[in-house]
Amino acid sequence: MAIGEFEYLLLAVASSLGEDAYGASIRKRLTAYGYPRSVGAIQTGLDRLEKKGLIATRLGEPTAERGGRAKRMVRVTTAGKKAAAEFYNMIHTASSGVQWMENTR
Amino acid sequence: MNRSLLALARLLPRADREVVLGDLCECEATKTEIFFNLTELVLRRALQPYADWRVWVCLGLIPLLTLLHIGISVALATRVWSWHLSHDGTTPSILADVFRLSLLLFTTSVTSGMSAALMARRTALLLFLAALLPAMICLHHYPAVGPPSFCIFLFLLPAAYGVWLALRKPHPWFLWSTTAALLLALLSDPRLAYNRWTLLNASLLVLPALYCSFTLHLRGHNALS
């Protein structure tokens, strides 16, 4: 399944966060990578990925730091991992030999 | 978080609201940030259904179909009206016409309502307005003589029944028999053979029935968008 840059980032961050992947933690990680996005954009992106079957979500336990509200926990599915790998390979292949890749070495 | 922000958050679905407010609380967002984030999400959620091409197809076709349905409704009401007024032996032909038009009105309105529900259930209000607008314009220009003006809205009842049916996922045989009845009602119109416009209108009236039949036949219980 074809995905875009933002969807790839969501999958990659959710995968690296593992059991601790949910809206706020994904947003914090993206901001740290220099890719700040609004809560709405992240939720809509997660909706899209869930609709495509690339992630599965469930409601987590409410915590005090969230004002007693539940988290939307995210798990990357096998199809999600496959789609992310395909996207990464495509970018990697397309980038080989290009000028700016040579300059970063 | 103040009352106005909570009121804004209430525009979101319940599950969404808890998650988003929790995320914003955890991020220690300021009131302004919360306002913009909530507004953005509310707008995204409200506009999401319009990303579906079927909604735009529906919006384009509904006013045309409504005008055709109004035409059938008024034609039916006029036949009933003239049947009611005259008792001069022409009753059998008028009765046959009334039967044909009733069948046509019922089948085409039901299938149009069903296809609108199947294609764009989440934009129901806008679709309803798109159907109501031509009806209101026709009502404004309705002549003072002849059957009463409310006959313009005769098609609404079977159309609403069609929406109700679509939400209850009817058996494909119902749709195939409705489509067959619709084709029968259209083909028995004597004008079809020589009037190009009648042929065009008939083709347009058949579209929703064919869409519903094939969608429910092919996609079964997952047909609703």
User: Mean of the pLDDT values across residues B103-118?
Assistant: 90
**pLDDT at B30 > cutoff 80:** yes
Q: How many residues does chain B have?
A: 225
A5-99 CATH pick, 1.10.10.10, 3.90.330.10, 1.10.3720.10, 3.40.190.10: 1.10.10.10
Distance CA(A62)–CA(B105), nearest Å, equals: 54
Q: Under an 8 A CB cutoff, do B26 and A65 touch?
A: yes
Residues B163 and B65 in one domain: yes
User: Mean of the pLDDT values across residues B136-141?
Assistant: 88
Q: Which residue has the tokens 């609709």?
A: A51
What is the pLDDT, as a whole number, of residue B221? 54
What is the pLDDT, as a whole number, of residue A79? 96
**pLDDT at A14 > cutoff 90:** yes
How far the first Cα of chain A sits from its last, in Å, is: 32
Using a CB–CB cutoff of 8 Å, tell me whether B88 touches chain A: no
Residues B45 and B123 in one domain: no
In this structure, are residues A38 and B33 in contact, taking their beta carbons and an 8 Å threshold? no
Instruction: Domain ranges for chain A, please list them.
Output: 5-99
Residues B56 and B150 in one domain: yes
Structurally, chain B folds into a number of domains equal to: 2
In this structure, are residues A10 and A45 in contact, taking their beta carbons and an 8 Å threshold? yes
- Residue A57, SS3? strand
Residues B105 and B187 in one domain: yes
B24 chain-A contacts, CB cut-off 8 A = 39
What is the pLDDT, as a whole number, of residue B53? 87
Using a CB–CB cutoff of 8 Å, tell me whether B44 touches chain A: yes
Q: What is the tally of helices (H) and strands (E) in chain A?
A: 5, 2
Burial of B141 (0-12, 13-18, 19+ CB in 10 A): exposed
* Of B24, B25, B44, Cβ closest to residue A44: B44
Residues B149 and B175 in one domain: yes
**pLDDT at B1 > cutoff 80:** no
User: Mean of the pLDDT values across residues B103-112?
Assistant: 91
What is the pLDDT, as a whole number, of residue A101? 74
Inter-chain CB pairs, A–B, below 8 Å: 65
Run of H or E including B69:
helix B53-85
Q: Which residues does residue A10 pair with via DSSP β-bridges, in sequence order?
A: none
Burial of A21 (0-12, 13-18, 19+ CB in 10 A): buried
Interface test with A, best of B2, B18, B38, B222 (most A CBs within 10 A): B18
What is the pLDDT, as a whole number, of residue A17? 94
Distance CA(B13)–CA(B19), nearest Å, equals: 10
Residue of A96, A92, A84 lying closest to A9 (CA atoms): A84
Residues B159 and B196 in one domain: yes
Query: Which position has the higher pLDDT, A76 or B192?
Result: A76
Tokens representing residue B70 in the block: 């109004």
Residues B59 and B36 in one domain: no
Q: Under an 8 A CB cutoff, do B41 and A59 touch?
A: no
Distance CA(A96)–CA(B10), nearest Å, equals: 49
User: Mean of the pLDDT values across residues B147-166?
Assistant: 89
* Of A38, A67, A72, Cβ closest to residue B25: A67
Residue B183 belongs to what domain range? 52-222
pLDDT in tens, B4-13: 888 888 888 8
Interface test with A, best of B25, B26, B27, B122 (most A CBs within 10 A): B26
Distance CA(A16)–CA(A29), nearest Å, equals: 10
For residue B116, how far is the Cα from the chain centroid?
5
Residues B39 and B115 in one domain: no
pLDDT in tens, B171-204: 777 888 888 888 888 888 777 767 777 778 888 8
Angle between helices B91-120 and B53-85 (to 10 degrees): 160
ipTM of the complex model: 0.82
Using a CB–CB cutoff of 8 Å, tell me whether B46 touches chain A: no
pLDDT in tens, A23-41: 999 999 999 999 999 888 9
Distance CA(B91)–CA(B194), nearest Å, equals: 26
Residues B136 and B166 in one domain: yes
User: Mean of the pLDDT values across residues A45-50?
Assistant: 93
Answer positive or negative: Cα dihedral of B64, B67, B73, B75: negative
